[in-house]
Amino acid sequence: MKKAVFLTAAVLVPAVVFGQRATRQTEARPDSSRDTTMRGRADTTVETTISRGSRPPAPAREVHVVTHHSATIGGKRIDYDATVGTIILRDSTDEPTAEIYYTAYTERGVADRSRRPLMFAYNGGPGSSSVWVHMGLLGPRRVDIPDTVHAAPPPYHLVDNQYSMLDKADLVFIDPVGTGYSKAVGKAKGKNFWGVDQDANALGEFVSRYLSESGRWNSPRYLMGESYGTTRSAALSAVLQNRYNIDLNGVILLSSVLDFQTITFDAGNDEPYIMYLPSYAAVAWYHNALPNRPADLRPFLKEVEHFATTDYAQALMAGDNLSSTDRARIIAKLQQYTGLNSAYIDKANLRVNAGQFEKELLREHGQTVGRLDARFVGETGDLLAENAEYDPQSADISSAYVSLFNQYMHEELNYGRDKLYAISGRVNPWDWTHGDRRGWPGHTNVAVDLANTLSANPKLHVMLNSGLFDLATPYFAAEWTMDHLGVPKQVRSQITEAEYMSGHMIYVHVPSLVQFKANVSAFIDRTSGL
């Protein structure tokens, strides 16, 4: 049976749902006494509309709750509508199969929507809602917490996000089935949507339906996904291209994994050890754990990358035929680049997986480094454990995000007081079968989907964004995958790459958030045709 791999956000918090009850979710509640950190926006008028009134009653009813707001982003005032709504997916007999909830931000007063780009955004997991990119990265409001330390207990602080992408594009945050408020309905079950292909097909229908219902068929179109969301984006791009004839302007990948062979530490698969080595070096450099720490990180990483793909790769390929002399030489280099003890590397047979590295690097200090962002450290309970008991970054930030999202949704967007929101949903078992790949021993690989989409749409642009201290989706694996798509050089030149001095969720590090905003803004300007 194929090993399940869950990447981000779905593992940030336990698989439970959050929310609270109230009387009428659509009731406007202006409250001047509310804490200023959760203040109402400029115009909190609530409009409720029911789409397609001729449809059967609930659960096949589409509901849209609209509130009016304004924000200043990049020195520009933007008046916008926030819509929390549903789109009902249907089967070939027009029977409802799923309620897909979304939150959309749309600039108000735009006469020609074809002049306004549209970005569909989501997280990964699989099993994560869109909370993280919504409230940390792209949306008009942002969770404000300190970097690399545990956030203080509540009250937490929600601030206007001056780095939001709303000045460049309208935003649609999607929660796949089993996350957020989204669920299977009718005779359908959650398992009908929990798989690589099933998920991509559902979101393909959602995108097509949203374009119709919002009148946005001629807007420049972008996909933006984080972690497994990048896997989703590659598969979804092919579904949109092949099934719906929908060309995209751009695909924005954050903390990417398209080929799971590059990150899955299975017996006999040496590839991840090569791909992770530069990340180990970056983390050891950050924590000053190297025997001779170089002053400049990036030239150092180039040296490590070269070693990883040459001498180290050859040593791993040699297997038991590796000579004792070469083995000693490789161990010495690995100690130099990772900061790990030579005896430990020897016992690991030159192959230290990510979990082992997280525990071992700072073990003598009684600490473990984070998986999602190895800049974060936490105290370890078991000094002999091979893998970390928890992820320090997840522990440090999750409560603030969960608390503020629910408060924001209830108080500012006037939705969900009578519902439960699944921050991290239960989507097990996840079907990793993709196309004609029938699972184990093969690894899920959607890089071919992206390559095929680039071939069919040679005007498509792709942007790869990676954190150097990410031990969930290492930056070198993502870049290596881009270099092995097998597309023509001209098409390959349309793939741009950016690295950040942060981890998986780059936006917890404000300088990286600022850099991301500038990079994506330039990307949209270059690719929107406007």
Cα dihedral across residues 517, 491, 217, 184: positive or negative? negative
In terms of pLDDT, which residue wins out, 1 or 168? 168
Average pLDDT along the chain: 88
pLDDT of residue 36: 32
pLDDT at 34 over 60: no
- Of 40-44, 157-161, 231-235, 250-254, which range is least confident? 40-44
| pLDDT, tens digit (0-9, with 9 covering 90-100), for 426-456 | 898 999 999 866 555 568 999 999 999 999 9
Assess whether 343 and 368 both reside in one domain: yes
Q: How confident is the model at residue 161 (pLDDT cuts 50, 70, 90)?
A: very high
pLDDT of residue 435: 80
Calpha distance 185→425 (Å, rounded):
16
Mean pLDDT, range 50-74, rounded to an integer: 72
pLDDT at 387 over 50: yes
Crossing angle of helices 271-286 and 324-338, rounded to 10°:
40
Percent of the chain with pLDDT over 90: 80
Is residue 9 one of the residues assigned to a domain? no
Tokens 């741009």, located at residue: 496
Structural domain containing residue 292: 262-393
User: What's the chain's Rg over C-alpha atoms?
Assistant: 23
pLDDT at 48 over 80: no
pLDDT of residue 438: 55
Angstrom CA distances, 479 to 215, 241, 476, stand at 36, 24, 5
Assess whether 119 and 210 both reside in one domain: yes
Residue 434: phi, psi to the nearest 5?
A: -135, 125
pLDDT of residue 74: 84
Is residue 8 one of the residues assigned to a domain? no
- Of 58-72, 142-156, 219-233, 407-421, which range is least confident? 58-72
Assess whether 194 and 317 both reside in one domain: no
Assess whether 147 and 125 both reside in one domain: yes
Number of domains present in the structure of the chain: 2
Assess whether 207 and 70 both reside in one domain: yes
Instruction: Tell me the whole-structure pTM to 2 decimals.
Output: 0.89
Q: How confident is the model at residue 7 (pLDDT cuts 50, 70, 90)?
A: low
pLDDT of residue 60: 66
pLDDT at 386 over 80: no
Neighbours of 140 (CB within 10 A): 24
Is residue 168 one of the residues assigned to a domain? yes
Angstrom CA distances, 23 to 18, 20, 101, 404, 413, stand at 17, 10, 20, 21, 15
Residue 41: phi, psi to the nearest 5?
A: -85, -175
Query: Closest Cα to residue 134, out of 82, 181, 172, 108?
Result: 172
pLDDT of residue 118: 98
Assess whether 38 and 89 both reside in one domain: yes
Assess whether 274 and 249 both reside in one domain: no
Assess whether 359 and 236 both reside in one domain: no
Angstrom CA distances, 433 to 268, 429, 436, 482, 484, stand at 21, 12, 8, 22, 21
| pLDDT, tens digit (0-9, with 9 covering 90-100), for 332-381 | 999 999 999 999 999 999 999 999 999 999 999 999 999 999 999 998 87
State which of 393, 416, 435 marks the end of a domain: 393
Is residue 382 one of the residues assigned to a domain? yes
Mean pLDDT, range 42-65, rounded to an integer: 52
Assess whether 115 and 241 both reside in one domain: yes
pLDDT at 22 over 70: no
CATH code assigned at 205: 3.40.50.1820
| pLDDT, tens digit (0-9, with 9 covering 90-100), for 247-292 | 999 999 999 999 999 999 999 999 999 999 999 999 999 999 999 9
pLDDT of residue 119: 98
Calpha distance 425→435 (Å, rounded):
25
Q: How confident is the model at residue 52 (pLDDT cuts 50, 70, 90)?
A: very low
Query: Closest Cα to residue 140, out of 228, 189, 211, 73?
Result: 73
Is residue 494 one of the residues assigned to a domain? yes
Assess whether 337 and 465 both reside in one domain: no
Assess whether 48 and 89 both reside in one domain: yes
Calpha distance 489→66 (Å, rounded):
45
pLDDT at 417 over 80: yes
Assess whether 389 and 464 both reside in one domain: no
In terms of pLDDT, which residue wins out, 233 or 153? 233
**Residues near 150 by Cβ (< 8 Å), separated by ≥ 6?**
395, 396
| pLDDT, tens digit (0-9, with 9 covering 90-100), for 482-530 | 999 999 999 999 999 999 999 999 999 999 999 999 999 999 999 998 8
State which of 335, 369, 393 marks the end of a domain: 393
State which of 393, 419, 450 marks the end of a domain: 393
